[in-house]
Amino acid sequence: MTKSDLIEAVAQKSNLTKDKAASVVNQIFEQMVDAMKKGDRIEIRNFGNFTVRKYPAYTGRNPKTGDAVAVGPKKMPFFKVGLELKNRVDGKK
């Protein structure tokens, strides 16, 4: 399922036009991206939590040449699946 498939499914279930469903779906993901940009944690009950993890700088290696490469500190989004969705995906319940 892509974002456009999701928009189509939402349009059908809500009786909205595709344009309106698209603005709702886009708004939701934009809000989540904005929250993560601020370093906020996102909690969607029964779905999961998104957090931003900070990683310190480290010296990595180019796997091809073996050369040392300095990797700067970075932030990475992390998703932890919620209990309900975890069970549904695993076919329990």
| Residues of this chain that bind another protein (CB under 8 A) | 1-3, 6, 9-10, 13-14, 16, 23-25, 27-29, 31-33, 35-37, 40-48, 50, 52, 74-79, 81, 84-86, 88-91
The two beta strands, 48-55 and 68-71, are unpaired
| Distance of closest approach, residue 24 Cβ to another protein, in angstroms | 5
Rounded (10°) CA dihedral 83, 84, 86, 91: 140
Closest to another protein by CB, 3 or 65: 3
Amino acid 51 reads T
Would you say 54 or 64 has its CB closer to another protein? 54
To which residue do tokens 């700067």 refer? 72
As measured in angstroms, the least distance from the Cβ of 63 to another protein is: 19
Q: Is the dihedral of CA 67, 68, 69, 71 positive or negative?
A: positive
